[in-house]
Amino acid sequence: MPRSSNQKLKLLRIYNYLLEYTDGEHTVTAADIIKELERYGISAERKSIYSDLEALADMGVDVQKSADGWFIGEREFDLPELKLLVDAVQSSKFITRKKSGELIKKLEKLTSRHQAVELQRQVFVANRVKSMNESIYYTVDAINNAINADRQLSFRYFDRDAQKNKVYRHGGGILTVSPWEFVLDGENYYMVAYDSAADTVKHYRIDKMDSASTSGKSRMGGQLFEDFDAALYARRMFGMYAGNEYMVTLACKNRLAGVMLDRFGEGTIFVKASPEWLEFNVRVAVSPNFYGWLACFGGDCMIKSPSSVVDGFRKYIGGIAAAYEVSDK
């Protein structure tokens, strides 16, 4: 690139340098800026640097001067705000580990290199359960496109077996529904849609959808969503844990393998106990919430050990039964 062309980029180079290397605790001097410009074949004098900094300030950039040098003060996002966003990305189960890393790298570019190190220190959630479906972002995009175009959405819906393979519902057939809302509940992201075939509102976990595409058919069921309350719907339709931790052996029917993987993560290892039953070990915080979650499966999911947790569950069930006996008197 000719030297004159490099000179035209001078102001932009200074701006990028300040964004990347400065903050309230890290400053640069005019000499630092001149040295940085030399890397790009741009010559500059100290006086011109002062004029460039003033020009950036006139453009609305919060260029501040301290006793040690210049730095960028206010940014679009403060460090505490970025920390909140990083934590939100990391805690979102429906965002895969790979995509979480990519998003956090982008968030790091919104602050200086020095403060980006603080964001990196916050990333320590290696054992957090994350979705394995890398195509979720294309699915979300397809849903948004269908909603914006007022069109129905076609997709396939699946569960997973003990080998963690996809098992498609409806024999792998294509489902077509009218998407209307997104709902985030707990750790999962759902699409709420009208199913005209069943004439009812249904929800679908987005990380269990694939092959999503916009249909040529117009959406239906709009009248059902005129006063739709996503929070109320989530409380009604969806819906584990605090207490002493134990390594618990659970046994469940084969059909619950996908549910257990959703609850305890991809590290769950199943052992075939019989043709119909699977056993696996998990570390859980044993509490009434855990027992209540377990009771949802009736006799299809059982505690095998330790005996103290088995006894605790018996007492929990017994307490409920006793409460009903009292209420009947």
For 89-120, write each residue's pLDDT tens digit.
Answer: 887 777 888 888 889 899 999 999 999 988 87
pLDDT, the chain, mean: 88
Residue 7's pLDDT band (boundaries 50, 70, 90)? confident
Q: Which of 117, 55, 127, 129 is nearest to 92 (CA)?
A: 129
Q: Is the pTM of this model over 0.75?
A: no
Cα–Cα separations (whole angstroms), residue 82 to 16, 18, 86, 118, 186: 19, 19, 6, 10, 22
Closest CA to 213 of 135, 159, 109: 135
Domain covering 144-237: architecture? Roll (2.30)
What tokens were used for 25?
């605790």
Give the least confident one: 18-27, 274-283, 317-326.
Answer: 317-326
Segment 262-279 mean pLDDT: 91
More confident residue, 255 or 236: 255
Whether 207 contacts 252, CB under 8 Å: no
Q: What per-residue confidence (pLDDT) applies to 90?
A: 80
Strands 63-65 and 166-168: unpaired
- CATH code for 3-72? 1.10.10.10
List the domain boundaries for the chain: 3-72, 79-121, 144-237, 244-327
- Separation CA 160–CA 257 (nearest Å): 7
Pair of tokens at residue 288: 């009434």
The predicted pLDDT at position 8 comes to: 81
Q: Which fold has domain 244-327?
A: Alpha-Beta Plaits (3.30.70)
Q: Report the distance separating Cα 234 and Cα 175, nearest Å.
A: 22
